């Protein structure tokens, strides 16, 4: 499955956020009304546990933990409290662990004092890998195929690959685009026809200027979601590898 997103800079952040800028204290929300996105990411050095809590669904108010509630994550015999992290449009909770190898298990508990209940998600990391092709700062013509290759393949897991581009427009403005290829079979290779991508075919593009392309490859496993969270809540652990500054000629 492919997903395409467009955004005009410098408004990319607000366009991609998609979430509410309002915040509600957790003491004011019943457990069944809390939507969660709990995920683990590793870039091969360490791993991050991140929990996002919203009211009702992913577009609802951000939920900030009251003093009586807490989020904790455990890896083996190491348990850490998730600390609040605030960005312009979002609130989440994070902890960093040294562990990052295949099958590392993470247990994330949300302790709710008002309802006297602990919600538990369990996640395990897939196998690590490296991007073999293309190379950082490599140049391609739009007429060439983009061949993405990665190591340590043939796992039972799936991959998502996201292409993010920045191109110049004829009026001098800058436009960012993102296209996501989802649930890719882990066979070590994906070939993308650049000419077929809408991000490189817009009639307003300045074809005298090269576009820059960034690449994100994620091997992932879905985790369990505690049934006490709101419907549609998510849980996922992924190994992520990035490649930046690929140049795409439009002429």
- Tell me the per-residue pLDDT of 181-234, one tens digit each, with 9 for 90 and over: 999 999 999 999 999 999 999 899 999 999 999 999 999 999 999 999 999 999
**Nearest of 137, 188, 183 to residue 159 by alpha carbon:** 183
For residue 141, what pLDDT is reported? 97
For residues 201 and 88, what is the distance between their CA atoms, to the nearest angstrom?
32
Q: What is the CATH number of the domain that holds 40?
A: 2.60.40.10
For residues 231 and 237, what is the distance between their CA atoms, to the nearest angstrom?
19
Mark whether 75 and 147 lie in a shared domain.
no
What value does the mean pLDDT take over residues 3-30?
Answer: 64
Mark whether 114 and 178 lie in a shared domain.
no
What is the residue range of 172's domain?
2-11+128-221+235-249
- Tell me the per-residue pLDDT of 113-131, one tens digit each, with 9 for 90 and over: 888 999 999 999 999 999 9
The number of domains in the chain is 2
Mark whether 144 and 240 lie in a shared domain.
yes
For residues 122 and 236, what is the distance between their CA atoms, to the nearest angstrom?
9
Mark whether 135 and 206 lie in a shared domain.
yes
Quick one: pLDDT band at residue 10, thresholds 50, 70, 90?
Answer: very low
User: pTM of whole model > 0.75?
Assistant: yes
Beginning with the edge strand found earlier in the chain, give each strand of the sheet holding 145-150 in spatial order. 131-133, 145-150, 189-193
For residues 44 and 128, what is the distance between their CA atoms, to the nearest angstrom?
7
Mark whether 100 and 6 lie in a shared domain.
no
């Amino acid at each position: 499955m492919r997903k395409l997103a467009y955004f005009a800079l410098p408004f990319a952040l607000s366009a991609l956020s998609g979430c509410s800028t309002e915040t509600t204290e957790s003491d004011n929300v019943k457990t069944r009304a809390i939507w969660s996105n709990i995920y683990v990411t590793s870039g091969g050095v360490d791993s991050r546990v991140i929990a996002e809590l919203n009211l009702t669904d992913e577009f609802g108010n951000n939920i900030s933990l009251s003093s009586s509630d807490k989020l904790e994550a455990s890896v083996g015999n190491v348990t850490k409290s998730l600390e609040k992290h605030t960005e312009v449009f979002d609130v989440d909770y994070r902890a960093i662990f040294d562990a990052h190898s295949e099958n590392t298990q993470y247990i994330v508990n949300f302790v709710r004092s008002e309802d006297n209940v602990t919600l538990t998600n369990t996640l395990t990391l897939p196998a690590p890998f490296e991007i073999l092709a293309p190379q950082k700062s490599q140049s391609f013509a739009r007429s060439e195929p983009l061949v993405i290759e990665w190591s340590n393949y043939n796992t039972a897991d799936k991959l998502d690959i996201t292409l993010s581009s920045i191109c110049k427009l004829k009026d001098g403005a800058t436009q960012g685009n993102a296209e996501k290829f989802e649930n890719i079979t882990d066979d070590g290779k994906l070939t993308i026809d650049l000419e077929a991508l809408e991000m490189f075919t817009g009639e307003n593009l300045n074809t005298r200027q090269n576009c820059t392309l960034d690449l994100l490859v994620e091997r992932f496993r879905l985790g369990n979601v505690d049934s006490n969270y709101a419907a549609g809540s998510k849980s996922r652990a992924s190994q992520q590898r990035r490649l930046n500054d690929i140049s795409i000629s439009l002429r």
